[in-house]
């Protein structure tokens, strides 16, 4: 991190419970040549990966549904979210992570994955980079029931929708998850499920 316009002067850990929340104080060189001291909080939850699983023959996709406490606290009456399969990298590289998460969450052991792009999902407050993938699935790839890793208490429900139904769930408000919307729109723009 070598930006000559930034001088970090103090980093203070505010919480290290589930993930790490830090308060960072820094000097910022403005365009007018004046230095300004600023403080921001940054939440470090690690990096992650997300994947859109699709079947070209049946024109279907696999999604998941699970309870998300932050959405419940911010107006989602049930707290349930429909999402693409995703997870934190932990010690894995993004491709290893998404293969592991796909099997844990959906029960499918996928073969070839294609990396699409990587994105800072909430750059004003969260350090996370999310790696986006896509992969084809077939019924023959199903190796277990999915539902998430037992020790993570995720209680994930696996859903299969035809692509058009899933895409229309954005407009109806049934899908409100950014990573899912981004992957569905990418699929629609690039017409790779039809």
pTM for the model stands at 0.92
DSSP class of 126:
B
Over the stretch 28-43, which tens digit does the pLDDT of each residue have?
999 999 999 999 999 9
Question: How confident is the prediction for the chain on average, in pLDDT?
Answer: 94
Length of the chain equals: 194
Q: Which two tokens stand for residue 162?
A: 């035809």
Read off the pLDDT band of 18 (50, 70, 90): confident
C-alpha 190/C-alpha 136 separation (Å) is 15
DSSP class of 156:
P
C-alpha 95/C-alpha 133 separation (Å) is 8
β-sheet with 35-44: strand ranges across: 6-15, 20-29, 35-44
Read off the pLDDT band of 146 (50, 70, 90): confident
Read off the pLDDT band of 151 (50, 70, 90): confident
Instruction: Reduce the DSSP state of residue 140 to 3 states and report it.
Output: helix
- Helix/strand number for the chain, H first, E second: 4, 10
**Residue 1 pLDDT greater than 70, yes or no:** no
């Amino acid at each position: 991190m070598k930006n000559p316009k930034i001088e970090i002067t103090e980093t203070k850990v505010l919480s290290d419970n589930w993930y790490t929340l830090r308060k960072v104080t820094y000097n910022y060189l403005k365009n007018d040549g004046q230095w300004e001291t600023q403080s921001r909080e940054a939440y470090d939850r690690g990096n992650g990966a997300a994947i859109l699983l699709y079947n070209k023959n049946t024109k279907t996709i696999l999604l998941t549904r699970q309870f998300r406490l932050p959405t419940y606290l911010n107006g989602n009456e049930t707290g349930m979210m429909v999402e693409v399969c995703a997870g934190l990298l932990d010690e894995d590289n993004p491709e290893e992570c998404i293969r592991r998460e796909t099997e844990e969450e959906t029960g499918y052991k996928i073969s070839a994955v294609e990396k699409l792009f990587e994105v800072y999902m909430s750059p004003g407050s969260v350090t996370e980079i999310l790696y986006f993938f896509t992969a084809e699935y077939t019924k023959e790839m199903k190796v277990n029931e999915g539902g998430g890793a037992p020790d993570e208490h995720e209680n994930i429900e696996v859903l299969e929708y035809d692509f058009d139904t899933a895409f229309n769930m954005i407009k109806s408000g049934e899908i409100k998850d950014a990573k899912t919307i981004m992957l569905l729109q990418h699929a629609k723009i690039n017409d790779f499920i039809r």
